[in-house]
Chains A and B, each alone.
Chain A
Amino acid sequence: MIVAFATWFRTTTKMRLVCVLLVIFLVVAGICLVLRFTSNSPVSYDNPQDRFKYGSTGGEIDSGIPYSVWKALPELFPEYLPGKGYASLGFLYEEGKDLPIGVSMRRVQGVDRVFFNCAICHAGSYRKAPSDPPQYVVGMPSNTVDLRGFYEFLFNAAKSEKFNPGLILAEIKRQGIHEDLLNRTILRYYAIFAMQNSLVGRSDRLSFIMSEPEFGPGRIDTFNPAKALLNFRMCKAPDSEKIGVADFPSIWNQRQREGMQLHWDGNNTSVDERNRSAAFGTGAYPPTLDRDYLHWVEGWLLDAKPPKYSYSIDQGRAARGAQIYATLCAECHGKNGQEFHTGEAKLGTVTPIEYIGTDRSRLDSYTYDLAANQNLIYTGYGEERFSHFRKTYGYANMPLDGIWLRAPYLHNGSVANMRELLEPAAKRVKVFYRGNDVYDPVNLGFVYNVPDQGDRKFFRYDTIVPGNGNRGHEGWAYGTDLIPADKDALIEYLKTF
């Protein structure tokens, strides 16, 4: 064999040499292309805080937006944004960072793509005065991000005539973002059209959610998107199940929550399953979920703690409040903000809707039929298949860790602050503003009565709108009959959570 080759090689002509080189070139180029188009590597972070804020759940693989297109869109479609850039949707930009908190990047098939991670909904900000820099807190419910506003922006852009390769590539070039020739070619002739088709398709499936009343910042419909995923025939659904808006929850102290009825209506008792369910919101599907990352997040959240209250606390008054808490609140909400655990009285169980009396839209949006169909989510992946979803008939009693950062209150964020929550519904404000991150230590919540600040308009929350009702969680058992001094004491104590 070797001899034969040597003979052949000795008798070779220049042409043959060229052929050999060409073959070598093609093989190398082929390998490069294969490597490029099978590439799938997230941008990774060592610092846990950064890893939570910017790490990838795998959502970019199916749902990702090419980084360069992500950068181009706000410049090309400012008419679909409330202000300048994604920041105008309440996305939080840390100093020196190119992407906002909750947006991750991954190179898939040679293209850098971005999409969401857990932090888009579970990181927030507060400040003591409008002029202060914001403090970013991971694990707290996002109080500024208008996620539906983001989708409206994307869908509107995708349906616009301006959504075409020529304009988008020109904008990318104008911003000086480098995409190599191959990527530019792919973007021009395939990727941008594919993205447009996929967005238009998705907006069709989600159209019934888009026709719900506005969510505003810090809220999303949690389970109607699952119906869209399963392509339920929603045009035939009763109105009672069409509004499922809910406040983002905090996600600290997951270890203590294992076994509790999770989600606002307590429809699942498995932290693991709840997380895979939530990962759909980051665009991660069963085949694309980055399991290593999600397991890391799960582990990290087990003992993640809320930050301490950042103002002074009157210890004497708080001590008196502790007694009131023990009498009225502890049975449902746990011993205190730190020492609560599963199995403690009614903590982590569901209070029937007839008793708690809060707005029932979110409860009714989650149906038995959805629970049954969720049995097939993650099927094909053994133990990962969903098997813990249950239809419930009330809302779950939550632990109150870090409660000071979890305003506005109730599952739909309909009560502006803690002081309001201790008033009967008739005395709670009917209209207030959400999305302001300036803290209000007197009332324990965010500033709620300011419609705008600088160029930023806040969301006008009207409690008359379906799904926004602020009734319930009232009466003697809920502390709304306490005398003012006792309410003050209770609020003081809740600051220690």
Chain B
Amino acid sequence: MFKISPVWRRRLIVIGSIVVVLAAVLGITAWYKFFRVVPEEPFANAEERFKYGSLDGENTAGLPYWIWVAMPRVCSKYLPGPGGYRSLGIPWEEGHEMPVGFTKRIIGFPRVANNCASCHTASYRTKAGETPVYVAAGPNHTTNIQGFLRFVTTCAKDDSFNPDTLLAEIEQHTHLDLIDRLAFRYLIIPRTKKALTDRDGQLGWMNRQGIPDWGPGRDDPMNLTKYFMTGMPWDSTVGSADFPSTWDLDIREGMSLNWGGETPSPRSVIIDSALGLQADPKTVEQHAAWIQDFLRSKRPPKYPFPIDAGLSAKGEAVYKKECAYCHALGSGSRVGTVIDVSEVGTDANRLNTWTAEAARIANQTVAKLGITRKDMVKTNGYQSVPLDGLWLRAPYLHNGSVPDLREMLEPQEKRTKLFWNGYDVYDPVGVGFDTQSAEAQRTGFRFDTSLKGNGNQGHLYGTKLSAGDKQALLEYMKTL
């Protein structure tokens, strides 16, 4: 050991202290600017939390808020029309900072992620000149999730996604301090660009030639689960499926969920769906608990047009005779069980996206995350679902291939082969949304039932009823 003179010792202490203080300042600044987790403000009620509450996915999947704000303005050319994110059919309440299903959390800086409400909030209007009503837990039939995913990844790859352009847009609307500006320029913008470009690669399977677009109100749920949870190679299956309603979860306890009945409990579906939204595995079970609590007692809204009580009473008798065996609650009913695809006869593509192998690996993956939930299975049919809030669940069948209830009571030859979905003005005559008017065609998505996965065949129950019985049944179904 060599001796240090007292003078040098003093100097070293001074220098050391300065270094320590500087490091501390730097460390605290870095923590504050990039890692500080600000707890969410409490929500007014459970429904607000369902619409805007965080699933702790912002850290891994979050878009920096200011980039999220600037993207529709900088990359407007990649949106289908005017209106920013609204042009993708995303519900956005007047006065509310975030669209429904979009969460905002500060983790160092504000970040945006998605929650269940982005696919499970329905929108309807009783006429065109009216503000939409948003129904939490209802099936979203307006949001083009695929369009949103493609928009953010395409924008990220565009030349305009660069620090100069983005910062010019951002700083027109807010003041950034020097550290934030440097962080955006050299860290946040380049890293976001890379993350989104990588995500584009992961989603490449849905952008392949010959794979039909989902359109609004649908995704490919089991392929999403399969490719993200199991790492299995891309196959050629197509499993476009309508977003389901998620209200009345109390009556669904013990039933199989997902269109194919692959998941045997509501809790499992919530957990797996939240994980798909990049929720933090450490807290996902807590989040699943409050979400399930809300959905257990969330009821569907009443039909917003008048109902002919007499006709409906007549229709109830038809319903009991023709439909109740599979769709009504109560003992002896097959509701909530899987009906073999050979029996129901609907498009089998969605069913075929899921395999026993996928179920096995997905269950292992979830178990490895330390999460306990009922395991997924492989089935060979589609679930006969309860029909609560049926009027708001158009278009119908698991793939949304039948535009309204009137057509559900017609054989395939009489069902519309080409319609436009995603327009939210309700049509009380067909009992479904307007899918043919000029405005529906202008704003909606061209749904072609001849494309793979879009078949409108099967479920021919009630198609042979007399015209009078059909009319009565239709009236009754408005009351469900």
Q: Which residues of B contact A371 (CB under 8 A)?
A: 94
Question: Known contacts A232-B76, A389-B94; is A372 also within 8 Å of B99 by CB?
Answer: yes
Does the CB pair B69–A233 fall under 8 Å? Answer: no
Task: List A395-420 residues whose CB lies under 8 Å from chain B.
Answer: none
Closest 5 pairs between A and B when the two form their complex, measured CB to CB: A369-B83, A232-B82, A372-B92, A380-B174, A236-B81
Cβ–Cβ contact B132 & A379, under 8 A: no
Residues of B within 8 A of A373 (CB): 83-86, 92
**A385: chain B residues within 8 A (beta carbon):** 97
Q: Does A326 contact B (CB under 8 A)?
A: no
Residues of B with C-beta under 8 A to A389: 94-95
Q: Which residues of B lie under 8 Å from residue A390 when comparing CB positions?
A: 94-95, 131
* Whole-angstrom distance between the Cβ of A223 and the nearest chain B Cβ: 12
Q: A227-B82, A369-B82, A372-B99 are in contact. Are A393 and B87 (CB under 8 A)?
A: no
Contact call A232/B94, Cβ cutoff below 8 A: no
B173 at the interface (CB under 8 A from A): yes
Q: Are B174 and A381 touching (Cβ within 8 A)?
A: yes
Task: Check A231–B76 contact: CB distance below 8 A.
Answer: yes
Contact of B129 among A236, A369, A377, A393 (CB under 8 A): A393
Whether the pair B173, A233 counts as a contact (CB closer than 8 A) is: no
Asked if A324 is at the interface of the complex by the 8 Å CB criterion, the answer is no
Q: Taking beta carbons and an 8 Å cutoff, which residues of A are in contact with B?
A: 62, 227, 230-234, 236-238, 241, 285-287, 353, 367-373, 375-381, 385, 387-391, 393
- B175 touches which of A233, A236, A241, A287 (Cβ 8 Å): A287
A391 touches B94 (CB 8 A): yes
Interface residue count for B (Cβ, 8 Å)? Answer: 32
Check B442–A380 contact: CB distance below 8 A: no
Q: A230-B73, A369-B82 are in contact. List 20 more A-B contacts (CB 8 A).
A: A227-B82, A231-B73, A231-B76, A232-B76, A236-B81, A236-B87, A241-B82, A285-B173, A286-B175, A287-B173, A368-B131, A368-B132, A369-B87, A375-B92, A375-B94, A376-B69, A376-B173, A381-B174, A391-B131, A393-B129
- Complex partner residue of A393 from B97, B130, B173, B442, CB under 8 angstroms: B130
- Residues on A with C-beta less than 8 A from B95 are 375, 387-390
Q: A232-B83, A370-B83 are in contact. Are A379 and B173 (CB under 8 A)?
A: yes
CA distance A68 to B76 in the complex (A): 36
> Which of chain A's residues has its CB closest to B110's CB?
A380
Q: How far is the CA of A5 from the CA of B11 in the complex (A)?
A: 22
* A233:B77 contact, CB within 8 angstroms: yes
Chain B contacts of A241 at CB under 8 A?
82
B residues near A369, Cβ cutoff 8 Å: 82-84, 86-87
- What's the minimum C-beta distance from A233 to chain B, rounded to whole angstroms? 5
B414 interface residue (CB < 8 Å to A): no
In the assembled complex, how far is the CB of residue B413 from the closest CB belonging to chain A, in whole angstroms?
A: 35
In angstroms, Cα B81 to Cα A373, docked, is 13
In the complex, chain A residues whose CB is within 8 Å of the CB of B83? 232, 367, 369-370, 372-373
Q: Which chain B residues have a beta carbon within 8 Å of chain A's beta carbons?
A: 69, 72-74, 76-77, 79-87, 92-97, 99, 129-132, 171-175, 442
Question: Which B residues lie within 8 Å of A378 (CB)?
Answer: 173
Q: Decide: A237 near B82, CB < 8 A? Known: A231-B76, A368-B131, A385-B97.
A: yes
* Residues of A with C-beta under 8 A to B73: 230-231
Which chain A residue shows the least CB distance to B93?
A372
Which residue from chain A places its CB closest to the CB of B132 in the assembled complex?
A368
Q: Separation in Å of the B197 CB from the closest CB of chain A?
A: 23
Task: Decide if B173 touches A380 in the complex (CB within 8 Å).
Answer: yes
Provide the residues of chain A in CB contact with B82, threshold 8 Å. 227, 232-234, 236-237, 241, 367, 369
Contacts of B72 in A (CB 8 A): 230-231
Q: How far apart sit A227 and B73, CA to CA, in the bound complex (Å)?
A: 10
Give the dominant DSSP class at B's interface: loop
19 residue pairs A–B, Cβ–Cβ below 8 Å: A233-B79, A234-B82, A236-B87, A237-B82, A285-B173, A286-B174, A287-B172, A287-B175, A367-B82, A368-B94, A368-B132, A369-B84, A369-B86, A371-B94, A372-B99, A375-B94, A375-B97, A389-B95, A390-B131
Closest residue of chain A to B74, judged by CB? A231
* Inter-chain contact A372/B69, CB cutoff 8 Å: no
Complex Cα distance A367/B97, Å?
17
Complex: A356 Cα to B184 Cα, angstroms: 51
B84 in complex: contacting residue of A62, A232, A286, CB < 8 Å: A232
Given known pairs A231-B73, A375-B94, A379-B174, the reply for A236 and B86 (CB within 8 Å) is: no
- Residues from chain A with a CB closer than 8 A to the CB of B92 are 372-373, 375
B103 to chain A, nearest CB (A): 15
Residue of B whose beta carbon sits closest to that of A373: B84
Tell me, in angstroms, the Cα distance from A391 to B131 when the chains sit together.
7
Q: Tell me which residues across on chain B come within 8 A of A376, comparing CB atoms.
A: 69, 97, 173
Shortest B251–chain A CB gap in Å is 34
- The CA-CA distance from A346 to B94 in the complex, in Å, is 23
> B313 CB to closest chain A CB, in angstroms?
35
**Which residues from A are CB-within-8-Å of B97?**
375-376, 379, 385, 387
With A and B bound together, what is the CA distance between A388 and B95 in angstroms?
A: 6
Shortest distance between the CB of A212 and any CB in chain B (Å)? 15
CA distance A322 to B148 in the complex (A): 59
Q: How far is the CA of A230 from the CA of B73 in the complex (A)?
A: 6
Compute how far the CA of A374 lies from the CA of B366 in the bound complex, rounded to whole angstroms: 41
CB distance from A392 to the nearest CB of B (A): 9
Tell me the complex Cα distance, A378–B77, Å.
Answer: 24
**What's the least CB distance linking A204 to chain B, in Å?**
12
In the complex, the chain A residue whose C-beta lies closest to that of B170 is: A380
Closest chain A residue to B97, Cβ basis: A375
User: A229 CB to closest chain B CB, in angstroms?
Assistant: 8
Determine the chain B residues whose CB is within 8 A of the CB of A353 once the complex forms. Answer: 129
B contact residues around A379 at 8 Å (CB): 69, 97, 173-174
Chain B residue at minimum C-beta to C-beta distance from A231: B73
B258 to chain A, nearest CB (A): 32
Check A233 against B174 for contact (C-beta < 8 Å). no
Output the least CB separation between A384 and chain B (Å): 11
Name B84's closest neighbour in chain A (CB-CB).
Answer: A373
Bound CA–CA A44/B148 (angstroms): 48
